[in-house]
Chains A and B, each alone.
Chain A
Amino acid sequence: MNKILLIIQREYLTRIRKKSFIIMSVLGPFIFAAYILIPMYFATREDTEEKTVVVIDDSKLFTEYSANGPTFVIPGTRYLKFKVVEGVPIETFRTGFEESGYYALLFIPSNILASASSLIYSTKQTSVEVTAYIKRAMENEIEHLKLSTHDIPDLEKIMAEVETNIQVKNIKWTRDGKTQESNTGVVMGVGYLAGMLIFFFIFFFGSQVMRGVIEEKVSRIIEVIVSSVRPFQLMMGKIIGVGLTGLTQFLIWVIFSLLLITGLKAAFFPELNRTPTEQVIASDLFEEPADNNAGEGINGEAPGGETPGNEAPGNEDADIATQIFASLKSINPGVMIGSFIFYFIFGYLLYAAMFAVIGSAVDNETDTQQMILPVILPLILGIYVMISAINNPDNALAFWFSIIPFTSPVVMMVRIPFGVPWWQVILSGTLLLATFLGMTWMAGKIYRTGILMYGKKNSYREIWKWLRYS
């Protein structure tokens, strides 16, 4: 036992003193923060470049708008403009269009109502977004035009009244009949994060175990060590030592990342809460019904054509916070944290033993490539199932993969926040534990033979032979 501690100590100390560990500890949070903030930054950034589309409007569809001059902002957009010209043939724009400064040319034929088709000419590929805006603008106009032919009185008022925005709120009934507010988005996020963390940890530090074993083989120190300790002690010492290194690094990252994200958000995105994109996200995920009648949660008619999403965000932030908080409350923190730690640790231990086997079977790192695929395949499969399980955490696929030990650490984590029957968690946990024990026992046997083998063809057939050596 004392020797295992010595091995753990060496593995841990030599690793955390490595330059790469210190560099990764410092850079890790920046990479983390960048992963979260850069997509956020691009998502919140609108394309603010002004684009003008010249419109040959033979149908006089947009005549109404061009009353105050031929150039106007396309309805529903901010930086996209139409410039309407009439009675000019397309041919006049054909040559030298690029120099004209127009983004594209829209030709609306006079029979647009019947043909329902128009043409966009440009020298560059027109972006999907711009095309969609143009299309929607035309559709709106044509719909209006068609409706107005029916000669309905007070059309505008009716249209405004007809516009509807449905809010759906999730209420979960617990077993004893209590109601619990749950926000799928938040619950989903928690599970997803937990599953991804486990995947990343297993993959990154599992391969460190493998590299450590190869290092001992390549440097030929292995035989010296195993004359002092049992190979199994060496293997377990390494797995635990690397695991502790990983936990340390993770802790550093999490703390630094939280500080960094909070700091950067405050420094660079003070307006973040007001951007349209976040309003969209907010209204999609966190929207609180305007008149929330005592747990009913179903919004009545939206008053006076104003949808809640367009309301100036007054106490909306507070509402979002309450919602997130309420949703997080729907997750049992004891079960969540407990199962996270369990699947985190045993998932790592299970895979680390397999990575150790690969390390013991090869003579150098380049030989690991073909061996590693069968090991990480279930893990990658787990990630795919996890992503599908986010949409439906109780489907059969998610159920089975959260029971099978090789995928359960990742898949079960995404199901747990939604609530999983106890027997399933216990079954999955027991299977994982049993598989870990069996795998470690087998790995120990293979490892013992593999570390002393040089120049063997590395294949799973060879490994199978080693397993049967006494």
Chain B
Amino acid sequence: MNRAYELSGANLLTASNVVKDFNGHRALNHVSMEVPGGSIYGLLGPNGAGKTTLLRIINQITAPDEGSILFEGIPITPEHVSMIGYLPEERGLYRKMKVGEQALYLARLKGLSRQEAMKRLKTWFSKLEIGAWWDKKVEELSKGMAQKVQFITTVLHEPRLLIFDEPFSGFDPINVNLLKQEILQMKEQGATIIFSTHNMASVEELCDHITLINESEVVLQGEISEIREKYRKNTYRVVFSGDREKLGNGLESRFELLHVEKDGREQYATIRVKAGTGSGELIRNLAEITEIRSFQEILPGMNDIFIQVVNDASQKKGS
């Protein structure tokens, strides 16, 4: 029926060729991004890369100079704000207002009726064990408590698209876990989540897809498993017993011994397989010269990929 919708397929949100200039400084340079429905999408990048600007454009807080944002294939309109929940990085609450009253106000701004908002708030407040704070003023709350209230007001209207910008900052590990469970549960219920963070461990844990923005441009994009595959370095970690010298001398030239260390009774070796050969060859070679206790490929962490991609991109720009 709608051609644009058909083109975008199952994407809940599509950003195409978004450009945003701020007085001579280009904050976003032809950024495109496709967020599949029902996924958790990581939006990564160093500070000042343009993530927040993109999130603000998706939330229609600022307008793009070029390009467009489609929500389910349709150009996004102010009517869509009730389908989006946004937890910005710079977030706060009215300090002098009471917690319950404030949550109610924010929920009604998202289009919920008073009764419905009340009902849902009661459920959420007891779920996150903050029911007792309903009549407290925000200024009496700790940072973590206020963050819980903000989280609730972001998800209360059960939006199709949830946007979290550094959602876990200010939380203790127990509450981080609690929130992760809630986020995963919302995904199961069909919500799509855009997740912006510097915490790469949680990206690996939660995200299905990522976009990495550096200096206003997309430098890496795709499914997280594919990316990790792409950045594998053919490096293996071997736990072995036997003579270290023998391992060093017996290794064929197709393999490069990067590192050997001894930790208590165990010995570890890190070995890179050069191009044109495989892990099977390495195992065969190792079996001849030592006793293999365990053998494992070292997959790059998102943290390493992040640093590598950003450094490469910066160098390319610099040269």
Check if A221 sits within 8 Å of B91, measured CB to CB. yes
Does residue B90 face the partner (Cβ distance < 8 Å to A)? yes
A290 to B190, CA, bound (A): 93
Q: Does B63 contact A (CB under 8 A)?
A: yes
B49 contacts chain A at the CB level, 8 A cutoff: no
A224/B94 in contact, CB under 8 A: no
Q: Which residues of B contact A7 (CB under 8 A)?
A: 109
Q: Which residue of B lies closest to A3 (CB)?
A: B109
- Complex formed: what's the CA distance from A7 to B106 in Å? 10
B90 and A220 within 8 A (CB): yes
Q: Mark B35-61, 1 if CB is under 8 A from A, else 0.
A: 000000000000000000000100111
Which residue of chain A is the closest to B85 with respect to CB atoms?
A227
By the criterion CB–CB under 8 Å, are B22 and A469 in contact? Answer: yes
Chain B CB within 8 A of A6 CB: yes
Complex interface: chain A residues within 8 A of B81 (CB): 227-229
Tell me if B88 is interfacial: C-beta within 8 Å of chain A: yes
Please tell me if the beta carbons of A224 and B23 are within 8 angstroms of each other in the complex.
no
- Chain A residues with Cβ under 8 A from B86's Cβ? 223-224, 227
Shortest distance in angstroms between B162's beta carbon and chain A's nearest beta carbon? 12
A224 touches B84 (CB 8 A): no
A107 CB, min distance to chain B CBs, angstroms: 70
Return the contact of B91 from the options A14, A215, A223, A452 (Cβ within 8 A). Answer: A223
Looking at the complex, which one of A6, A231, A465 makes contact with B109 (CB distance below 8 Å)? A6
Which residues of chain B have C-beta atoms less than 8 A from A448's C-beta? 62
Residues of chain B with a CB closer than 8 A to A226's CB: 59, 61
Chain A residue, CB-CB nearest to B95: A219
Interface membership of A115, Cβ < 8 A: no
Instruction: State whether B109 touches A229 (Cβ < 8 A).
Output: yes
Size of A's binding interface in residues, CB under 8 A:
26
Q: Which of A440-467 contact B (CB under 8 A)?
A: 448, 452, 454, 465
Q: Which B-chain residue is minimally distant from A221 (CB atoms)?
A: B92
- If over half of B's interface residues share one DSSP class (helix, strand or loop), that class is named, otherwise mixed; here it is loop
Select from chain A the residue with minimum beta-carbon distance to B163: A227
Q: Does B153 contact A (CB under 8 A)?
A: yes
Q: Does B65 contact A (CB under 8 A)?
A: yes
B23 in complex: contacting residue of A6, A10, A215, A469, CB < 8 Å? A469
Write out the residue numbers on chain A whose beta carbons fall within 8 Å of the beta carbon of B173: none
Q: Is A147 an interface residue (CB 8 A)?
A: no
> Shortest Cβ distance from A78 into chain B, in angstroms?
58
State the CA gap A215–B97 with chains docked (Å): 12
Q: Is A470 located at the chain interface by the 8 A CB criterion? A: yes
* Contact across chains for A14 and B96 when beta carbons are under 8 A apart: yes
Among B22, B23, B88, the most chain A Cβ lie within 10 Å of the Cβ of B88
Instruction: Say if the beta carbon of A230 comes within 8 Å of chain B.
Output: yes
The interface residues of chain B lying within 8 Å CB-to-CB of A10 are 105
Q: CB-CB < 8 A to A220: which residues of B?
A: 90-92
A6 & B94 in contact (Cβ 8 Å cutoff): no
Assembly CA distance A469 to B63 (angstroms): 10
Given A223-B91, A470-B63, A452-B110 contact (CB < 8 Å): no
Q: Which residues of B contact A215 (CB under 8 A)?
A: 94-95
- Residue of A219, A228, A452, A469 ringed by the most chain B CB atoms within 10 A: A228
Closest Cβ–Cβ distance, residue A300 to chain B (whole Å): 70
Contact check, A227 vs B95: say whether CB atoms are below 8 A apart.
no
Looking at A7, A225, A226, A465, which has the most chain B CB atoms within 10 Å of its CB? A226
Say how far B293's CB is from chain A's closest CB, in angstroms: 53
Min distance, Cβ B69 to any Cβ of chain A, angstroms: 14
B92 touches A219 (CB 8 A): yes
- The residues in B between 79 and 136 inclusive whose CB is less than 8 angstroms from any CB of A are 81, 84, 86-88, 90-97, 105-106, 108-110
Q: How far is the CB of B64 from chain A (nearest CB, A)?
A: 9
* Candidates B60, B94, B108; contact of A221 at CB < 8 Å: B94
Chain A residue contacts of B22, Cβ below 8 A: 469
A residues in contact with B216, CB < 8 Å: none
B88 and A227 within 8 A (CB): yes
Q: How many whole Å from B100's CB to the nearest CB in chain A?
A: 14
Taken together as a complex, chains A and B put the C-alpha atoms of A149 and B88 apart, in Å, by 98
CB-contact partner of B88 in A14, A223, A229, A465, under 8 A: A223
CA distance A454 to B89 in the complex (A): 13
- The smallest C-beta distance from B53 to any residue of chain A, in angstroms, reads 10
Contacts of B105 in A (CB 8 A): 6, 10
Q: How far is the CA of A225 from the CA of B92 in the complex (A)?
A: 10
The contact string, 1 if C-beta is below 8 Å from chain A, for chain B 156-197, is 000000000000000000000000000000000000000000
B-contacting residues, A31-54, CB 8 Å = none
B61/A224 in contact, CB under 8 A: no
CB–CB A6/B56 < 8 A? no
Q: Which residue of A lies closest to B92 (CB)?
A: A220
Interface hub of A220, A223, A230, A231 (most chain B Cβ within 10 A): A223
Within 8 A of A (CB), among B1-58: 22-23, 56
Are B109 and A223 touching (Cβ within 8 A)?
Answer: no
B88 contact set on A, CB distance < 8 A? 223-224, 227
Contact B78 A230 (CB under 8 A): yes
- Bound-state CA distance A454–B109 (Å) is 25
5 A-B Cβ contacts within 8 A? A224-B86, A226-B61, A227-B61, A228-B110, A230-B78
Given contacts A221-B91, A224-B91, A228-B109, 18 further A-B contacts (CB under 8 A): A216-B94, A220-B90, A220-B91, A221-B93, A224-B87, A224-B93, A227-B61, A227-B84, A227-B86, A227-B88, A228-B81, A228-B106, A231-B61, A448-B62, A454-B90, A465-B23, A469-B22, A469-B23
Closest 9 CB pairs of A and B: A220-B92, A228-B109, A223-B88, A227-B86, A219-B92, A227-B59, A221-B92, A220-B90, A226-B61
